[in-house]
Structure 1
Amino acid sequence: MIKDTTNAKRALHQQQLSAGLVITGGGLSGVCAAITAARAGTKVILVQDRPVLGGNSSSEVRLWILGATSHMGNNNRWSREGGVIDEILVENTHHNPEGNPLILDMILLDKVKQEGNITLLLNTAVFDLEKSDADTISSLKAFCSQNSTEYLLTAPLFCDASGDGIVGFLAGAAFRMGAEAADEFDEQMAPSAQYGELLGHSLYFYSKDTGKPVKFIPPSFALDDITKIPRYRSFNANEFGCKLWWVEYGGRLDTIHQTEEIKWELWRVIYGVWNHIKNSGQFPEAENLTLEWVGTIPGKRESRRFEGDYMLSQRDLTEQRPHHDAVAYGGWSIDLHPADGVFSERPGCNQWHSKGIFSIPYRTLYSRNISNLFLAGRIISVSHVAFGATRVMATSAYVGQAVGMAATLCLKQGLLPAQLLQETQLNELQTMLMKAGQYIPGLTLNDGADLVQQAAVKASSTLKFKGFDAVDAWKSLAISAGMLMPFKAGKLPVFTVPARSSATTKLLCELWICSRSGSFTPDVLMTSNTLTVNGDVELELDFDVVLPEAGYAFIIFRQNAAIELGYTDQRITGIVSVFNLINKAVSNYGKQSPPPGTGVDEFEFWCPQRRPEGQNIALKLSEAQDLFEAENISNGVDRPVMQPNAWVADRDDINPSLTLEWSSVQIISSMTLCFDTDFDHPMESVLMTHPETTMPFCVRDYRVVDASGREIYAATNNYQTRNEIKFDEPVETAKLTIYVQHPLPHVPAALFAVRCYGPQQAAN
């Protein structure tokens, strides 16, 4: 029993914790930074002021995780972010294809708790800090509302991933809030005062069919006149959750200190909308629906942005400028919203896409005037316009991974964040990131520690691509369609295309390539042919073109609803059908036609269809293309870019295998295998559902044997992109053979990379 009858002022229970890195903010950027650093050997304290992890992706807000893939509605092929955020999205898709936000909460908590180097403090808010000098943080003070404990958190390095930048603000880090004038960074998209300088908050609701009529009596504070919302006719009984992202408010207010006022206004709107749906008489289909959930904290888009040694701006994105210190990338459109949000007469967003992904430099990920402070998430060093693209969660998570690895390297070498810009350290950071699965545009992993680089690589078979040998369906050319395919430099083969029509008609066929290296926007027309279709035919298509260099090309068949093309269920890594689709959710109307003076390119959109659609056009090639050689597994790129970058086995090989052979015995402590989990698939984390739990290209079952034929590892039911294998005892052998099974009857086995490390490299 505890009995205390004194009337003296009491102190809170206090606890002091120390680590190598303290991360404030348990959204995806903080989570991915923490996991990355912990796996690299750093002791981390992760401080989260909410009861769950995930921030805007959590069950408290329920926004889907998106980044460069943009709902598969742009030209950023194979652009899903890699590393930890890819691992999380693949895991969630496998276990949670229905998009249940509670399951995502569970997955995030489990991922963090599996890391012994992470100390997780939930329900704990940072409220103060101490500095050892003007530009150095020494400790944070935080309070947990659940155990009534005040924490003193000390570390040599700190990361602010808190969204509002509480640590940076308290520390005196230079920051901005609002929009820059157009002339500061030569940004033609800089908003006017009428449009507004801040993006607001959003609040979502979920409905549920109870199977019987349900009444709804609105609260007194509900919006009583739905016509105050100019887009009120857009509301319907079938859309809920983050599909109503445009129910936004607060861009004219202080989005930090007036967040509670903003929340109450959003509650007023939400309950008013539901009252309209239930009681206006316009939605009889809503009779059995009940309001299952309403958010209690708003999803916040914008507040402070902090200044690093570089500020990313519009031209960095639209021109896809390279940066020597690139550590991550983005690919969401420049997506700005009117400050008046749901009460604005303007469209809910002003969204303009770039022709491809853009690099994010390391100089944007630390404070320029607080020497030991990293920045992660939406508060990184960008202009308001560039923020329109970098703010989304998958991009935020990706820069969080870069920060986690950078912090580890700083601690190992006794450096401060800015000191990693030295060439040697920067190269090491980029190498460490790529080894952990972080694709960086324009860079190739050159890993001298990888024993595979010294091995002779042989395959039991290699796919010699001559096209597809089956027609499984016929589809109308009601919209323009095409194939995005890789080719070697030189003359293109002749193509044979199955087509049919009920009457004589013309088919316009075009060959396009991309003007920018690594881009997937067809903007250079090489040539075109017009063919005659009458009945069932095999069209012969000879473009008579010599490609100046290896790369991807688009074979495009222009719209003609009188024609059907033959399609196949066969799918191959690095080859995809594309369509001139419209996706209004991301301002894709088939062609981007920006007004003059915006500094944005005009181009067509060519996007894949979501499975189970998206079959390939069943074309054949006159000459086989050698694109899938075994040597691709050691070329340092683990996704399609200029080429597929994968070894693909022949479809008829009943026991595909890859053999690594050295001239002498090697001591191998670990292996990394990189599989194809379809980097085109966005894997939205909530609300949207997915047609499968394992990507069709991903090898499920494989085994590894040594020179004596002894099985040293086997896996079944794999669904992850990267498999990290650590042997209990080092394997001594001069040869390894990896036997893989074709994942599906119509999908041949593929591998992007195999890496092997000795004891010292494995320890590092």
Structure 2
Amino acid sequence: MCAALAAARDGLNVVLIQDRPVLGGNASSEVRLWANGATSHMGNNNRWAREGGIMGEILEENLWRNKEGNPVMFDLVLLDLANSQPGLTLLLNTAVYDVEKTGSRITAVSAFNAINETFYTVRAAQFCDATGDGVLGFLAGAEYREGAEEIDELDEKMAPGDHFGHKLGHSIYFYTKRTAEPVNFVAPSFALKDITEIPRYKRLTSTLNGCDLWWLEWGGRLDTVHQSEEIKWELWKIVWGVWDYIKNSGEFPDAANLTIEWVGAIPGKRESRRFIGDHILCQQDIIEQRDHYDAVAYGGWSIDLHPADGVYSTHDGCRQFHSKGTYTIPFRSLYSRSLDNLFLTGRLISASHVAFGSARVMCTCGLLGEVVGRAAALCHTHHLTPQTLAHRDRIRDLQQHLQQTGCYIPRQWLDNPALGATVSTSSEYVLTSLEPNGEWLSLEARMAILMPVKRGETLPAMTFRLRCSMPQQLTISLLGSEKAGNFTPECHYDETTIDVHGEQKYRCKFDWTSDRDRYVFVVFDACNEIDIALTETRLPGLMTVFNSLNKRVAKHTRQVSDGDYGVEEFDFWLPRRHPHQVFPAMQLDAPLHCYAPDNLLNGRLRPEQQTNAWIPADHDPTPQVVWRWETPQRIQSLTLIQDNDFDNAMETVQMGHHQAITPHCITHYRLWADGNLIADVEQNHHAVCEHRFVTPFHTKTIALEILGTAGARPAVYALNVR
């Protein structure tokens, strides 16, 4: 979907062939798995890491239309996007069954739609395989692998042995509903009879939704392509056996008034073929966070490997290890080295089994889709093969183009986003104090606030309001990350201890100067007897995190390893979800200019190492930004990049969300060129707002007028000019 939209938006004629009646893959109403990615349910240390570009647009659009997480509505969001995109032809219920080749190039595919009994021949200059199983690449004879590599091939210590198994299986989900009266259930003849065949059966409860039971998984020992029907029937056996146990075992009296509302008709597949490009993404790429010269995207989900025996295994349902931050994915993993015109995206990219365990999740797959869609357009324009585009002297064109269109790449930035313009603003928000709102938070867990510090500067002394009933000592530490852009505080810079008694203000000063732009953690040790005063103010790029646990993601507040798996141990520092985010009231001895107008020209698309945003002052009723050039500039497109809470996971289905639009989003704005109105946008809910002009024009000034937000301060990162 993302590949098709990106290619079409960049001017290609695109045919999207989908063998199901809806789009969305495992996130569709047929399977109903929530799409997630680098944010990992906000359960790891990847701050402000939600996928951008078209994947971000889809998540934001789904939040706007479907914050309740209805899978049928998510189908509608995707179908609407595809159907309304000029240059995109959508063929649903259509399966590719043959290919034509000339040498090392695919020239055409043959497909059949059993619903309308129509055969299709689709000819193209370029092809992208996003089928999950790699149907196109397999038919074309592209090199691929199945299963896990041996440990010594890539020196991956997480490579599983035979006991754990070499492939991930499938899962089928189900929905339950509580009724007014008891509902009888008669199990089918093929249902699992002995629930103890499932070693973890005691984890089953009548309160779990069937989609929480992702570990009802099976099939990793079989051929996950050609034996999919066999796997599906075994999963149906498991699901109906589990439901029979819940309804009829007598262990769950409250299940009498439960009925099963929906069971998946097709399994959600995790793993099958992986195709080989010019780079095989591996465990070390992820854990060491290697930044490749051709980095075009990123991931952040844990390396998440499941035992091949699935539900019948005596192992835990998964083995998960995180890196200390996001990792980048090279373009060389996104095309087949066997063919001259086959792009790869989704879960079949060039990756080892271990690295696949992280890169396989849907939002990462969608992000990769946009990359290959835009790469295809560049290849078409400049008559390149993907292999040629991957060269060191060419790949920057793709990296810059992706960022121009709002696709964030960690530790990269856009060169000269405003084509040499100077910028002026009607005001600037300067952080000096955040007033208390009368609410207090107990320091029952370790808490930290993320604050930006510039190279050569110190963090201003901070004053907090604390209270306690009996005198207590509180240690406040200053921590930071070794790697630029990370939010794992493994470095200790300074600390201070204060004596807290009663209720009053307490000043905290650290003797430390930063050697580079970075975020630091101001960490309050846990002390149940001490409360800290809170503020209502919420600022983009500032956040409170807790050394805490998200049970969906980890079992401990710290990543621990029970063996030599080649991973690091570190603490998890997690934010709270809306509407439960908090921030302490504070005063600063010196003003913090972290939202200066110059941020609009630095080419950074979100908070990373600094806030990177401009925010107007509170007293500014109609904030404005003006970009000026000495000579008139030819303008073909303007892309406004603004804040839309990049730490919000925005899972697509099932998990409802508090708001349909995040508070800092600019909902109403106008753009002016030399005083002439060129855009008046109302009811906006997207972070990336692209304005393309059929007829380019010349101007010496572009002005942004902000007329409304979703309730909080607006924040702008850039206006990318082309």
Q: TM-score range by the shorter chain?
A: over 0.9
Partner Cα distance (2:410, 2:424) in 1: 28
Partner Cα distance (1:260, 1:479) in 2: 48
The residue that corresponds to 1:595 in the other structure is: 562
| Residue from 281, 295, 299 that aligns with 1:312 | 281
Q: Does 1:34 align with 2:11?
A: no
The residue that corresponds to 1:174 in the other structure is: 143
Q: What SS does the corresponding residue of 1:684 show, helix, strand or coil?
A: coil
The residue that corresponds to 2:372 in the other structure is: 403
Deviations 1:154-173 (CA, angstroms, capped at 9, x unpaired): 11211111111111111111
Aligned counterparts, 1:428-443, within 5 A:
428-443=397-412
| Residue from 362, 370, 387 that aligns with 2:331 | 362
| Residue from 94, 97, 100 that aligns with 1:130 | 100
Q: Label 1:404 to 1:730 Cα distance change in 2 as closer, same or farther (>3 A).
A: closer
Superposition CA RMSD, Å? 1.5
With structure 2 as the length reference, what TM-score do the two structures score? 0.97
Partner Cα distance (2:578, 2:129) in 1: 38
CA contact 1:76–1:331 (8 Å) conserved in 2: yes
Greater Cα offset, 207-216 or 663-672? 663-672
Deviations 1:466-493 (CA, angstroms, capped at 9, x unpaired): 2412234111111111101112232221
Unaligned runs of 5+ in 2: none
Query: What's the CA shift for 1:744?
Result: 5.7
Q: Does 1:754 align with 2:691?
A: no
Query: What's the CA shift for 1:444?
Result: 1.2
Query: What's the CA shift for 1:231?
Result: 1.3
The residue that corresponds to 1:276 in the other structure is: 245
Partner Cα distance (1:299, 1:223) in 2: 20
CA contact 2:430–2:594 (8 Å) conserved in 1: yes
Query: What's the CA shift for 1:713?
Result: 2.4
Q: Does 1:521 align with 2:488?
A: yes
Amino acid paired to 2:91: L
Partner Cα distance (2:99, 2:311) in 1: 38
CA contact 2:661–2:710 (8 Å) conserved in 1: no
Partner Cα distance (1:485, 1:177) in 2: 45
Q: Does 1:455 align with 2:425?
A: no
The residue that corresponds to 2:510 in the other structure is: 543
Q: What SS does the corresponding residue of 2:485 show, helix, strand or coil?
A: coil
The residue that corresponds to 1:659 in the other structure is: 626
Partner Cα distance (1:672, 1:322) in 2: 26
Partner Cα distance (1:391, 1:744) in 2: 33
Partner Cα distance (1:322, 1:668) in 2: 33
Greater Cα offset, 357-366 or 206-215? 206-215
Q: Label 1:705 to 1:41 Cα distance change in 2 as closer, same or farther (>3 A).
A: closer
Q: Label 1:243 to 1:474 Cα distance change in 2 as closer, same or farther (>3 A).
A: same
The residue that corresponds to 1:224 in the other structure is: 193
| Residues paired across the two proteins, number | 721
Query: What's the CA shift for 1:424?
Result: 3.9
Query: What's the CA shift for 1:663?
Result: 2.4
The residue that corresponds to 1:420 in the other structure is: 389
Aligned counterparts, 1:148-187, within 5 A:
148-187=117-156
Q: Does 1:85 align with 2:50?
A: no
The residue that corresponds to 1:248 in the other structure is: 217
Partner Cα distance (1:748, 1:258) in 2: 54
Query: What's the CA shift for 1:667?
Result: 4.5
| Residue from 523, 527, 541 that aligns with 1:560 | 527
Q: Label 1:616 to 1:744 Cα distance change in 2 as closer, same or farther (>3 A).
A: farther
Q: Does 1:267 align with 2:243?
A: no
Partner Cα distance (1:171, 1:707) in 2: 54
With structure 1 as the length reference, what TM-score do the two structures score? 0.92
Q: Does 1:63 align with 2:63?
A: no
Query: What's the CA shift for 1:136?
Result: 2.1
CA contact 2:294–2:392 (8 Å) conserved in 1: no
Q: Does 1:481 align with 2:410?
A: no
CA contact 1:409–1:429 (8 Å) conserved in 2: yes
CA contact 2:413–2:605 (8 Å) conserved in 1: no
Query: What's the CA shift for 1:704?
Result: 2.6
Greater Cα offset, 660-669 or 748-757? 660-669
The residue that corresponds to 1:199 in the other structure is: 168
| Residue from 467, 471, 478 that aligns with 1:511 | 478
CA contact 1:199–1:302 (8 Å) conserved in 2: yes
Unaligned runs of 5+ in 1: 1-30, 758-764
Amino acid paired to 1:750: A
Q: Does 1:120 align with 2:90?
A: yes
Q: Label 1:741 to 1:539 Cα distance change in 2 as closer, same or farther (>3 A).
A: farther
Query: What's the CA shift for 1:638?
Result: 0.9
Partner Cα distance (1:420, 1:625) in 2: 43
Greater Cα offset, 412-421 or 92-101? 412-421
Partner Cα distance (1:706, 1:368) in 2: 47
CA contact 1:241–1:687 (8 Å) conserved in 2: no
Partner Cα distance (1:435, 1:473) in 2: 42
Q: Label 1:718 to 1:132 Cα distance change in 2 as closer, same or farther (>3 A).
A: same
CA contact 1:496–1:540 (8 Å) conserved in 2: yes
| Residue from 375, 395, 402 that aligns with 2:344 | 375
Identity, % of aligned positions: 47
| Residue from 652, 663, 684 that aligns with 1:696 | 663
Deviations 1:236-262 (CA, angstroms, capped at 9, x unpaired): 222224321111001111111111111
Q: Does 1:533 align with 2:503?
A: no
Q: Label 1:436 to 1:712 Cα distance change in 2 as closer, same or farther (>3 A).
A: closer
